[in-house]
Structure 1
């Protein structure tokens, strides 16, 4: 086996949620910070920090890419193919491509986790459907019921473009 030559066009990435270049998005009741984007990994993966408030989380969905979550703080309940699993800080969950799943913060405290999607692209979907905020610890904007309906409709409308199905 021959290992390809180093690509000098690729750069070392050092990411911090506190960097002035960090991108923070309010989505599904939480704040998602894109730490490493597909642009930085040549499309191989994206890494996103997710801050999930009590009762927060996405709707049931599935997509054709792998997704891995490492819980840093708090406790979440993942529903995978209809089966519920409690996950606590220090644990990692891998969701295979195409499998129906979602998560919910079932505790009274915020949860924080890292989410890696491979290949990249999920961050592009988030950029299209989320509301930008200033910092990782920002409160999500308070949306009217009409604005919430509009965000859900936009998410459903764009899902297929980003290889996702909202269930």
Structure 2
């Protein structure tokens, strides 16, 4: 890309992956921004959302477009509604979010620097937009493999009940 060129993305060029029961579409990838940031649309079905995890080198900011989602960390629980903004700062705060409603939640997620976009593309299963697959039942071998991939992207995964303690 030429310096100072405006980045444009056609909707037809986008693809989605199933991750943790949700449908994630990378709108702007790290490849397109020389790794400075990525933008991901996350559609999270009822009872969906990632388990507790942390990423010390990445700041993650969410904007709630539709629906209601509960964000949880070791220090707080926050119910985010349309228009809410949630920022997970660099430093490795352990966090998770879950859609506890009967409606699909739409989030816009900005990650800085990029990297989570590649992680989602590696662990996700390609699906058409608005297609939801149930979360896979994880064997110990599956979990170990996922943790190895997560480490490659500076992610740390925690047991599902970690933030309930």
- Structure 2: any 5+ residue segments left out of the alignment? 159-165
Following TM superposition, where does structure 1 have runs of at least 4 consecutive aligned residues deviating by more than 6 angstroms? none
C-alpha contact 2:21 2:132 (8 A) present in aligned 1 = no
Once the two structures are TM-superposed, the CA of residue 66 in structure 1 deviates from its matched residue by 0.3
C-alpha contact 2:19 2:135 (8 A) present in aligned 1 = no
1:125 aligns with 2:116: no
Partner of 2:13: 21
- Structure 1: any 5+ residue segments left out of the alignment? 1-6
Larger displacement relative to structure 2 (77-86 or 41-50):
77-86
Q: Work out the number of aligned pairs and report it.
A: 155
Q: Distance in 2 between matches of 1:125 and 1:21?
A: 19
2:33 is paired with a residue of what secondary structure? coil
1:73 aligns with 2:55: no
TM-score (norm. length: structure 1): 0.85
CA change 1:116–1:28 in 2 (3 A) is: same
Q: Distance in 1 between matches of 2:145 and 2:88?
A: 24
1:30 aligns with 2:22: yes
Q: Which has the larger radius of gyration?
A: 1
1:109 aligns with 2:103: yes
C-alpha contact 1:76 1:104 (8 A) present in aligned 2 = yes
